[in-house]
Amino acid sequence: MIQLANFENTKQRYISSFLLSSLLYFLLLGLLYFFLLTKEEPFKTQKEELSRISLSTLTFQEPKPLPKQKVQKKPTEQKPVLQKPLVKKKQALPLPPQTVEKVLEQEPVLEKEVIKEEMQTQEKLQEEIQALERRKQKEAELLLVAKQEREAKQNLFVQELRDRINKNKSYPMTARRRGIEGSIEMQFYLLENGHVKDIRYISGKTLFENSAIEAIQKSFPMDVDNKLFTFPKEFKIKLVYDII
């Protein structure tokens, strides 16, 4: 509040001083103008008298007009307009390849730091990309190894299953008496608990069908690794009957 009051006081002082100075200035101008008017009046009267005397004594003769001469206009020479040759802008030539160290020497300190930071970030990104690629490659290799191991275990299981069914196989007496040999192809489904279902004939000599069904039924249940297959798993097996 005090500052505002001081500001108002100073403002009023400046205004009052400006008004007083302007009044004094106008008064001085008025006095000068009045003084000049009073001094110029005698000079005016003298000048008017001299002008009257000179006009009364002097007689003016009007000058005869001179004959007009025809002024021949000079033909204006048209200057040839010179066309400025088009100047092709020089294209900036590509700079020669420079090493990173030379570029860093030419740039100011701040730009050097920025370039270094960008280089570091690029190196980090490249390292991360390389690490990710190595990780993916390792995962692919592990998946391939696991797949190969699984396929090997599956083949081993199928071979053991064939051997087991062939051991439980019995030659039919009617076929042995007649001396009949041959093969038969059977189909069945293996369950997750190691049992079998839906045994059926596919092709071959029907004389060996009952013997093949009995051999398959005797071979189960058996221990099964649940990770090897998706159950129920379909199997097709070919049994060969030879008279030894």
For the segment 131-177, what is each residue's pLDDT rounded down to a tens digit? 999 999 999 999 999 999 999 999 999 999 999 999 999 999 999 99
- Structure-model confidence comparison of residues 114 and 146, the more confident one: 146
For 176-188, b/e burial (b = at least 16 CB within 10 A) is eeeeeeeebebeb
DSSP assigned state of 36: H
Task: Give the per-residue pLDDT at 1.
Answer: 57
- Structure-model confidence comparison of residues 127 and 70, the more confident one: 127
Confidence of residue 26 (pLDDT cuts 50, 70, 90): confident
In which order are the strands placed within the sheet that holds 196-204?
196-204, 182-190, 233-241
Q: What is the token pair recorded at 136?
A: 């993916």
Mean of the per-residue pLDDT values of the chain: 78
Residue 229: CB atoms within 10 Å: 16
Query: Of the given ranges (46-60, 89-103, 112-126, 217-231), which has the lowest mean pLDDT?
Result: 46-60
- Structure-model confidence comparison of residues 171 and 30, the more confident one: 171
Instruction: State yes or no: cis peptide before 221, omega within 30 of 0.
Output: yes
Q: Alpha-carbon distance 199 to 206, whole Å?
A: 14
Coil, helix or strand for 216? helix
Q: What sign for the dihedral angle of Cα 214, 219, 224, 228? A: negative
Are 212 and 186 within 8 A, CB to CB? yes
Q: Alpha-carbon distance 179 to 192, whole Å?
A: 40
Residue 136: CB atoms within 10 Å: 10
User: At 235, which helix (H) or strand (E)?
Assistant: strand 233-241
Q: Can you give the pTM of this predicted structure?
A: 0.47
**CA distances in angstroms from 63 to 60, 66, 67, 70, 168, listed in the order given:** 9, 9, 12, 21, 162
Where helices occur in 168-235 by DSSP H, the ranges are 173-178, 209-218
- Structure-model confidence comparison of residues 104 and 8, the more confident one: 8
Residue 220 half-sphere exposure, CB side, CA atoms within 13 Å? Answer: 18
Confidence of residue 58 (pLDDT cuts 50, 70, 90): very low
Task: Give the per-residue pLDDT at 7.
Answer: 64
Task: Give the per-residue pLDDT at 22.
Answer: 83
Task: Give the per-residue pLDDT at 33.
Answer: 80
Residue 51 has pLDDT above 60, yes or no: no
What residue segments make up the domains of the chain, in order of their start?
101-244
Phi, psi dihedral angles at 172 (to 5 degrees): -65, 140
Domain 101-244: give its CATH code: 3.30.2420.10
Residue 52 has pLDDT above 80, yes or no: no
Residue 54 has pLDDT above 50, yes or no: no
